[in-house]
């Protein structure tokens, strides 16, 4: 009888520990995050790399507000009108944004939608897109920004609006990868 009770207690304790661990993947109100993304594009004669460290705070279990500092360094670009190759400048911008974690795909995958506004020297960008986090551990996740759905940018006197709704594009060409650590 003693062995049965001890076995039942051990099974209960292991089940309880597993249930507690499963609930700890993800974010909760009051969590702070630090991380960053990297995006490298090389297509149509243009190539550039964007590095974006960021910090965030969860105002609820599903909504975070974020601040970032983005550094873009480019090599060359081909002017679509003239076909000329031009050198790209390196730029730095400051951004603010928010994410809404709208869907859990299992206990480790968290799908989000996000929007942000970036300011830099003669550059303003408004962007909205989707992405996914995969939790490697309870505190560390891989971030994959799948695609920007809507982008508005203004550089000096030139404005451009890109809307990618219902348009087939290879999201691997437009995605960003990064790490996120929560406190």
Q: Which residue(s) pair with 112 in the sheet? A: 101, 131
DSSP-H helix ranges across the chain: 2-23
Q: For residue 154, how many C-alpha atoms fall within 13 Å in the half-sphere facing its CB? A: 6
Q: Are 104 and 112 in contact (CB under 8 A)?
A: no
Tell me if 19 is assigned to some domain.
Answer: no
Instruction: Classify burial at 47, counting beta carbons within 10 Å of its beta carbon; exposed 0-12, middle 13-18, buried 19 or more.
Output: middle
Q: Are 27 and 63 in contact (CB under 8 A)?
A: no
pTM for this prediction: 0.72
What's the total number of domains in the chain?
Answer: 1
CA-wise closest residue to 170 among 75, 70, 41, 51: 41
Tell me if 83 is assigned to some domain.
Answer: yes
Helix H or strand E encompassing 29: none
Tell me if 3 is assigned to some domain.
Answer: no
Per-residue pLDDT of the chain (183 residues; tens, 9 = 90+): 455 554 544 445 455 444 444 457 999 999 999 999 988 777 666 677 889 999 999 999 999 999 999 888 876 655 555 666 656 667 888 999 999 999 999 899 999 999 999 988 877 888 888 999 999 999 999 999 887 777 787 777 666 666 655 455 555 666 789 999 999
Tell me if 8 is assigned to some domain.
Answer: no
Tell me if 103 is assigned to some domain.
Answer: yes
CA-wise closest residue to 31 among 62, 10, 71: 62
Tell me if 112 is assigned to some domain.
Answer: yes
The CATH number covering residue 113 comes to 2.40.160.20
Q: What are phi and psi of 103, to 5 degrees?
A: -150, 135
Tell me if 140 is assigned to some domain.
Answer: yes
**Cα(77)–Cα(42) distance, integer angstroms:** 9
- Compute the chain's Rg from CA coordinates: 21
Tell me if 168 is assigned to some domain.
Answer: yes
Residue span of the structural domain in which 114 resides: 27-182
Q: What are phi and psi of 163, to 5 degrees?
A: -115, 120
């Amino acid at each position: 009888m003693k062995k049965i009770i001890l076995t039942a207690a051990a099974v209960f304790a292991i089940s309880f520990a597993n249930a507690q661990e499963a609930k700890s993947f993800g974010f909760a109100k009051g969590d702070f995050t630090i991380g960053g993304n990297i995006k490298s594009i090389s297509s149509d004669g243009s190539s550039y790399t964007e590095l974006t460290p960021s910090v965030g705070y969860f105002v609820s279990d599903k909504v975070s507000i974020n601040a970032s500092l983005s550094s873009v360094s480019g090599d060359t670009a081909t002017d679509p009108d003239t076909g000329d190759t031009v050198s790209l400048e390196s730029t730095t911008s400051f951004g603010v944004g928010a994410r809404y974690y709208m869907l859990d795909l299992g206990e480790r995958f968290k799908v989000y939608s996000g929007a942000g506004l970036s300011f830099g020297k003669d550059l303003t960008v408004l962007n909205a897109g989707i992405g996914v986090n995969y939790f490697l551990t309870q505190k560390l996740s891989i971030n994959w920004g799948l695609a920007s759905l809507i982008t508005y940018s203004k550089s000096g006197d030139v404005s451009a609006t890109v809307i990618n709704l219902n348009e087939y594009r290879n999201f691997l060409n437009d995605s960003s990868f990064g790490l996120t650590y929560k406190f």
